[in-house]
Structure 1
């Protein structure tokens, strides 16, 4: 199992950074290799990606989601992965985003790429592109303010 830890500072308030991160279907706009993310319900996502020229699909479950603070997940199928992204208020217009992800590469190509640090560099690039995506807009494309605790969603709030 590989561990990737990356962080970036973005020039928007924590609530805006968090709100944008909850817009999972926008991920292909800034995540390299991700071709589609479908939100199945409040806690389940279906991912499609191009990894080393091969199409990969997997499902993931959001296990914890605290507005403006953190989102944690783990895969339910496909390549085993899990992680957490946290949002740290620096000041009224600055947020530090920290991502920790555990990833279990499959096969020779993924293991070789992992040994070369390719996924780590990709995640770092994704965070930089997220920063550019968000700062160029100055606002989020949507938000979900619900809370997920121990795999159970609080659906009193709706996505928009």
Structure 2
């Protein structure tokens, strides 16, 4: 598994930034290569993306979600990947977003792209483009404020 960590400071309040990140179906607006994201239910999301010229699809399960703090997920089909995005208040109008991804490159092209740092650059562009997206709007497109904790027994 390869790991990438990227951070960006967003000039919006933490509630606005967190709320926008919960709008997974908007990700194609700011994530390069992501063609479609469908929210299947409160904890399952279907992704379709172009990865190094190949159309890939996978399902992810949200394993932790705490409003204004963090969202964690893992793939349940397709290429193995997992991650956490954390939201940290800097002050009333500024938020630090810290994204950590773990993924397993599949095939020669993905391994070459990973070796050249292309995946890391794509993730960097995604967090920077998220910042531009939310700052240009000034408000979120929607919000989901529920909590998820898959580690908690039912």
TM-score by length of 1: 0.93
Partner of 1:136: 136
- The answer as to 2:11 corresponding to 1:18 is no
Question: How far is 1:107 from its partner?
Answer: 0.5
How far, CA to CA, are the matches of 1:109 and 1:124 in structure 2?
Answer: 19
Q: How much is the aligned-residue C-alpha RMSD, in angstroms?
A: 0.9
Q: Deviations over 1:87-141 (max 9, x none)?
A: 0001000000001110110010000100011110000000111000000000000
Which consecutive unaligned segments of at least 5 residues does structure 2 have? Answer: none
Partner of 1:32: 32
How is 1:80-95 mapped onto 2 (pairs within 5 angstroms)? 80-95=80-95
Question: How far is 1:34 from its partner?
Answer: 0.2
How many positions carry a matched residue from both structures? 152
User: Which contiguous aligned blocks of 4+ residues in structure 1 show a shift greater than 2 angstroms?
Assistant: none
Tell me the SS of whatever aligns to 1:109: helix
Partner of 2:58: 58
- The answer as to 2:110 corresponding to 1:121 is no
Check whether the contact 1:12–1:135 (CA below 8 A) recurs between aligned residues.
Answer: yes
Which consecutive unaligned segments of at least 5 residues does structure 1 have? Answer: 153-160
Tell me the SS of whatever aligns to 1:20: helix
Tell me the SS of whatever aligns to 1:97: strand
Question: How far is 1:150 from its partner?
Answer: 1.3
How far, CA to CA, are the matches of 2:61 and 2:93 in structure 1?
Answer: 30
Partner of 1:109: 109
Question: How far is 1:151 from its partner?
Answer: 6.4
How far, CA to CA, are the matches of 2:136 and 2:11 in structure 1?
Answer: 10
